[in-house]
Every structure is written in structure tokens, then in C-alpha cells.
């Protein structure tokens, strides 16, 4: 398990989570001083060392522990359940402030094409190599493209270059700062930072405490959970989750089938009015609409609940005194569920789930399945991939014998932004815009523990063996055909 | 059996409700209430929305104005009263 993560920072995060879960499952419970004392021993004078000294390493870990316990990374900051993605300021390297830099590949050549290429008179020839006057430089990159020696490099701070909504700036000490009024909690920066300096706040501790006290509780799992745990089948994964203490585990794909049908009904109205529809399942995309494209949010956004909320509403209607914990690949889902009181009580990621499994010595691939459960359609499960939502809505349309519609699948946050800009200026020509902030869809989410291509392959293999039911059959099987899942506007 | 439910919804957890569980468990042990009091966790009981302080119910009765500071004392009083 130790080599599950490609980044050492995620291994530290995992180790902290496992220990927290062990404490929370034990009789003594979680005590902050104890877990902090334990974490201090993860880094010693002998290493491992990624930063200047052991004291800084320990401070980084201390902040990681705070986030893992559901506290703000910054001790002084007021608790803000809206801001899931946070900067661990001690871990931020304050990297690459200057976007364009001249390296020692520069040979002070005679052509000086960099100087010729610069439109802003910012390029000078110094005594050692070409030099940039940063007062004049507009960071256009023309010099870098012109240099025949690749001596000029363009490097942007990874968190900033990956942020689709320009929410990252830095303070006087070059430490990254997230503008909470702009941030959509998509988690792209968190994935991008090579220092693990941006992380999500976690609620593993209260979830385990509730499970330990045998509170009645359902787990609902996102479709992308299939194939995350090596050879374990979906029923094995779901059974493993029940072993953690959940009363029962349900597939959110059941809710996805409901959403496909409801969005198709909405689409019919939108098509008649000539107003394109945008999908509701990706919370990062919905945040982008809400914060950065308010007109489109009001006019184009589907009023159907997300699959997570749709299934939660169904379950809460039938079992009002049960808690609901969503387990998915997504960080923005934490905000969707936790920003205010909703039908979903807590959200965990796969990264947190695998820590819970490790703390209880549960190996999903070893779990025995005694009897098979009902399951939804493959269309619902395919909500995990880019293009899957539009395809499912199309299938719902086909099952009703209606005319096919046109769709655009915006794959990744920057593509979402581009399509929304087109829509804003009336240049979007399809009937439906499917938006997914993670490139490839939820299988590539920031909370996943396996690479998207592998997971996609495993999902396809497992789902080939299903009974290939239609969306209509799924709705009938789960009695969800007439269940209302519209947000009251 | 007296049923004491402590809210471990996110808003109460952040205020420290899981520490209240630990304090309550200690209280139960000190007073030998193991066979009389059952400590349970609860999902959000909307005490936060209704501005009632930390969410605690003793045999279904919602306590009002509980904070981290007075939780232990209030619980002790309530439990003694309920057991009497």
C-alpha cells in the first residue's frame, strides 16, 4: 500500500489518515496532542527531507494533521466549510514567481532572435547571457519561442497555471493564496502542486466516530469507485464499505439513472424554447456557473439535483433517521454537501476510504459476496466518464422514441470555461452542454487512488458482464420513475 | 436505559462535540452509569440552524445553550435528573 501514491506528500497524508482512523475506532478516541506527537516521528533529524530542516517538515505535517482532523490548516483562520481546498502555507515552496526566465543554455549568439522577437523592449544582452527587464516584460513568451537553443523557459507556478478561474495569487512572501470568492473547489491546484502544499479538509474522524457508536448510516458510492481497488469487483468494494460499519451501501449510479431521465425531460422544454441546457452532476462545473457565469446559471443550468443528492433524497424519504455519507473521487462534492445543511451528511474521498480500509485491515479483493444485489444501468455508471452524462441523457431520449439531440462534452475545467464563454456570447450551438471539471471525467478526480486509464479499463471489463438494462428498466427496478428530483427555484 | 445522543454533524464536530463524547464517557465511568446510560452519536440534529448550541438530546429532549465549556456540567445535571 505504501507505494500506492505517485507523490510522497500523498503518502504522508495517507499515513496520517490511517493513524487518525485507528484512533477514532479505538476506545480512547482521537486526541489532537497525541496524533500530533505521533506525526512528529514521521520525520526525524535523519530524514526524510524535502525542505530546509526537520522543524519545517514537522510544521508541514502538523498542518496536514489539522486538515485531516477537519480543522483549518491555518490555526488563526476561522472555520469555513465552503473552502474545502486550502493552502498549507508551511509546505508552499513559493516557486517560480517569474514566468519567463533565461537559462544558461544562452550562448549570447549573434542573431539575438530573442531581442528581435520582443515587442516590449524587455530583452537585453547582459555580460553572461540575455537578461529580461521584468518591469517591461508582459510574459507573452515570444522570446522563448524565438530562441534556437531553448535557452528561455516558460514556467508558471503549477497551482496557478492549473486554476481555471484565476483564483490563485501570492502574498508578500510568495506563498500561494486562494481567493475564496473565486475558488470553485475543483481541486485542480491540489493535483498540480508537486509539494502537496494544497490539500482538502477531511472529515474521516467524525464519520468513524459515528460508525463506532453504531449510528444508523448509509454509504452511497460514486460510479468511479469501480476499479479503484485493484482486482476487487464493485460488489466486493461495497461489501467492504459495509464492513466499516455502514448499515448499507448504495450505488449513486441509481441516482444517475434518475438524473438522465429528469434532464431529458428538462431538455425537451429547453429545446422548445431554444435555450441550451447545462448538466448538474459536476459540482465544480456548477460552481463555475454560479460564481463566474451567473446569467447562464440562471438561464441554462439544469434544475435537476445531482445524482448524489437525487439518491440521498430518495433514501432520506424512505429512511428519514439514517445518516448519509457520500464516497467519491471529488473534492467539490465536499462543498456541495457540507457548505450548508443538506441531505448528505458527510463526504469522503477514495483516498480517505482506502485509509479506513487500511486501519481495519480490510482487503476488498478478499471479501466474499454471498448474494448478488440489484444494480442500475451501465448508462448511470458511465456518468464517471467524460461524455457519459450526455450519452445517458441521449439514451433516455431514445428510450422514449424522441428525436435525437446534439451535445458538447466539455472535458476538463478549461474546456468548461471555454464552452460557457461561447454560451455567454450566444455562440453555443448544441442542445446540451455536459461539463466536467476533471479531464477524463470523475475517474480522474483529485480523490482517486488509481490512474484513470486503468480504472476505465477495469470498469469496461466488469460492466460488460451486466444484464445491460435500459434506464427505464433501472427506474422501474428501483421505483424511482416518478420521484421528483428537481430543485425548487 | 437512558439514551444520550450527541450530534457529530460537521458544525457540531468542528465546535468540539467529539470531545463531549469523550467527557461523557468519562462521566459515565466515574458515576458507574454503564448499565443506565447509553451514549450515542447522531447525524446533524439541526441544533446549529435553530441556534441551540451543541446538539445534545437526553432521552429525546433537546438541550439548549450547550457549549464546550458547560457541556459536562449540564449533562451531569440532566442525567441525574432523568435517572431520578
Burial category of A43 from C-beta neighbours within 10 Å (exposed 0-12, middle 13-18, buried 19 and up)? buried
Same domain, A224 and A133: no
A24 is a domain residue: yes
Range of the domain at A14: 8-93+163-201
Give the least confident one: A33-47, A177-191, A326-340, A428-442.
A33-47
Give the mean model confidence (pLDDT) for residues A451-461.
95
Question: Cβ B41–A81 below 8 Å, yes or no?
Answer: no
Same domain, A167 and A222: no
Pairing mode, strands B56-58 and B61-62 = antiparallel
Mean pLDDT of chain B: 91
| Residue written as grid cell 464493485 | A234
A3 is a domain residue: no
Same domain, A137 and A81: no
Same domain, A57 and A196: yes
Same domain, A286 and A407: yes
A207 is a domain residue: no
Question: Cβ B42–A215 below 8 Å, yes or no?
Answer: yes
Torsion sign (Cα): A353, A358, A363, A369 = negative
Across the A:B interface, residue pairs with CB atoms under 8 Å apart total 54
CATH classification of the domain holding A104: 3.30.70.20
Most A CBs within 10 A among B43, B56, B57, hence the mutation to make, goes to B43
Identify the three-state secondary structure at position B42.
Answer: strand
A62 is a domain residue: yes
Mean pLDDT of chain A: 93
Q: Which residues of B touch A75 (CB under 8 A)?
A: none
Which residues have a Cβ under 8 Å from the Cβ of A144 and sit 6 or more positions away? A100, A152, A153, A154
A385 is a domain residue: yes
**B84 vs A109, more confident:** A109
Give the mean model confidence (pLDDT) for residues A33-52.
89
What is the distance between the alpha carbons of residues A39 and A64, in angstroms, rounded to a whole number?
Answer: 10
Question: Cβ B10–A206 below 8 Å, yes or no?
Answer: yes
What is the distance between the alpha carbons of residues A256 and A321, in angstroms, rounded to a whole number?
Answer: 23
Range of the domain at B65: 2-83
Same domain, A415 and A286: yes
What is the structure's pLDDT at A332?
97
Same domain, A398 and A305: yes
Q: C-alpha angle A105/A108/A109, rounded to 5°?
A: 105
Q: Which residues of A touch B42 (CB under 8 A)?
A: 210, 215
Same domain, A191 and A274: no
Most B CBs within 10 A among A25, A341, A343, hence the mutation to make, goes to A341
Same domain, A276 and A403: yes
> How far does CA B25 lie from the centroid of its chain?
10
Express each pLDDT in A17-30 by its tens digit.
Answer: 999 999 999 988 89
Residue A489 has pLDDT above 80, yes or no: no
What is the distance between the alpha carbons of residues A454 and A465, in angstroms, rounded to a whole number?
Answer: 18
What is the structure's pLDDT at A1?
39
A211 is a domain residue: no
Give the mean model confidence (pLDDT) for residues B25-30.
92
How many domains does chain B fold into?
Answer: 1
Same domain, A338 and A469: yes
Same domain, A298 and A439: yes
Phi, psi torsion values for B5, nearest 5 degrees: -110, 130
How many domains does chain A fold into?
Answer: 3
What is the distance between the alpha carbons of residues A195 and A50, in angstroms, rounded to a whole number?
Answer: 9
A208 is a domain residue: no
Give the mean model confidence (pLDDT) for residues A423-439.
96
Q: How confident is the model at residue A107 (pLDDT cuts 50, 70, 90)?
A: very high
What is the structure's pLDDT at A4?
66
What is the structure's pLDDT at A2?
39
Q: How confident is the model at residue A7 (pLDDT cuts 50, 70, 90)?
A: confident
| Residue written as grid cell 447522531 | B42
Question: Cβ B14–A209 below 8 Å, yes or no?
Answer: no
Express each pLDDT in A339-389 by its tens digit.
Answer: 888 899 999 999 999 999 999 999 999 999 988 899 999 999 999 999 999
Same domain, A145 and A173: no
What is the distance between the alpha carbons of residues A441 and A420, in angstroms, rounded to a whole number?
Answer: 17
What is the distance between the alpha carbons of residues A123 and A134, in angstroms, rounded to a whole number?
Answer: 9
A209 is a domain residue: no
Express each pLDDT in A308-337 by its tens digit.
Answer: 999 999 999 999 999 999 999 999 999 999
> Could you give the percent of chain A with pLDDT greater than 70?
99
Amino acid at each position: 500500500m505504501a507505494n500506492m501514491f505517485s507523490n510522497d506528500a500523498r503518502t504522508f497524508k495517507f499515513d496520517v489518515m490511517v493513524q487518525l482512523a485507528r484512533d477514532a475506532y479505538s476506545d480512547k478516541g482521537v486526541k489532537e496532542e497525541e496524533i500530533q506527537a505521533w506525526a512528529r516521528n514521521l520525520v526525524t533529524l535523519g530524514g526524510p527531507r524535502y525542505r530546509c530542516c526537520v522543524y519545517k517538515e514537522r510544521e508541514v505535517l502538523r498542518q496536514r494533521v489539522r486538515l485531516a482532523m477537519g480543522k483549518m490548516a491555518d490555526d488563526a483562520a476561522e472555520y469555513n466549510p465552503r473552502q474545502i481546498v486550502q493552502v498549507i502555507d508551511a509546505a508552499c515552496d513559493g516557486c517560480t514567481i517569474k514566468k519567463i526566465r533565461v537559462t544558461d543554455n544562452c550562448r549570447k549568439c549573434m542573431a539575438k532572435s530573442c531581442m528581435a522577437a520582443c515587442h516590449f523592449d524587455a530583452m537585453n544582452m547582459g555580460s553572461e547571457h540575455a537578461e529580461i527587464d521584468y518591469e517591461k516584460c508582459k510574459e507573452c513568451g515570444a522570446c522563448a519561442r524565438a530562441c534556437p537553443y531553448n535557452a528561455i523557459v516558460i514556467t508558471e507556478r503549477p497551482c496557478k497555471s492549473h486554476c481555471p478561474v484565476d483564483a490563485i495569487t501570492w502574498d508578500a512572501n510568495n506563498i500561494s493564496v486562494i481567493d475564496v470568492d473565486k475558488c470553485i473547489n475543483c481541486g485542480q491546484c491540489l493535483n498540480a502542486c508537486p509539494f502537496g502544499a494544497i490539500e482538502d479538509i477531511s472529515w474521516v474522524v467524525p464519520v468513524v466516530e459515528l460508525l463506532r457508536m453504531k449510528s444508523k448510516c448509509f454509504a452511497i458510492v460514486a460510479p468511479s469507485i469501480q476499479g479503484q481497488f485493484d482486482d476487487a469487483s464493485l460488489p466486493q468494494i461495497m461489501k467492504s464499505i459495509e464492513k466499516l460499519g455502514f448499515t448499507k451501501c448504495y450505488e449513486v449510479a441509481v441516482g444517475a439513472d434518475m438524473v438522465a431521465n429528469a434532464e431529458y425531460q428538462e431538455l425537451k422544454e429547453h429545446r422548445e424554447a431554444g435555450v441550451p441546457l447545462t448538466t448538474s452532476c459536476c459540482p465544480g462545473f456548477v460552481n463555475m456557473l454560479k460564481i463566474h457565469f451567473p446569467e447562464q446559471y440562471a438561464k441554462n443550468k439544469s434544475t435537476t439535483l445531482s445524482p448524489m443528492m437525487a439518491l440521498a433524497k430518495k433514501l432520506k424519504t424512505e429512511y428519514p433517521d439514517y445518516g448519509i455519507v457520500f464516497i467519491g473521487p471529488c473534492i467539490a462534492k465536499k462543498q456541495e454537501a457540507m457548505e450548508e445543511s443538506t441531505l448528505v451528511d458527510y463526504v469522503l474521498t477514495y483516498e480517505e476510504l482506502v485509509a479506513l480500509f487500511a486501519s481495519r485491515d480490510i482487503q476488498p479483493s478478499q471479501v466474499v459476496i454471498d448474494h448478488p444485489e440489484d444494480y442500475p444501468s451501465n448508462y448511470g455508471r458511465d456518468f464517471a466518464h467524460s461524455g457519459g452524462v450526455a450519452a445517458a441523457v441521449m439514451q433516455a431520449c431514445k428510450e422514449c422514441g424522441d428525436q435525437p439531440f446534439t451535445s458538447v462534452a466539455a472535458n476538463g475545467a478549461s474546456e468548461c470555461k471555454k464552452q460557457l464563454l461561447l454560451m455567454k456570447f450566444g455562440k453555443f450551438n448544441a442542445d446540451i452542454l455536459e461539463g466536467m471539471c476533471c479531464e477524463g471525467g470523475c475517474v480522474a478526480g483529485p480523490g482517486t487512488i488509481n490512474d484513470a486509464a486503468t480504472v476505465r479499463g477495469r470498469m469496461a471489463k466488469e460492466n460488460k458482464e451486466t444484464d445491460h438494462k435500459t434506464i427505464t428498466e433501472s427506474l422501474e427496478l428501483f421505483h424511482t420513475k416518478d420521484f421528483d428530483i428537481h430543485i425548487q427555484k | 436505559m437512558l439514551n444520550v445522543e450527541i450530534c457529530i454533524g460537521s458544525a457540531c464536530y468542528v465546535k468540539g462535540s467529539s470531545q463531549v463524547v469523550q467527557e461523557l464517557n468519562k462521566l459515565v465511568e466515574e458515576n458507574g452509569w454503564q448499565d443506565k446510560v447509553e451514549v450515542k452519536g447522531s447525524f446533524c440534529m439541526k441544533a446549529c440552524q435553530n441556534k441551540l448550541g451543541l446538539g445534545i438530546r437526553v432521552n429525546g429532549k433537546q438541550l439548549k445553550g450547550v457549549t464546550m465549556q458547560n457541556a459536562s456540567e449540564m449533562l451531569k445535571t440532566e442525567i441525574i435528573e432523568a435517572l431520578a
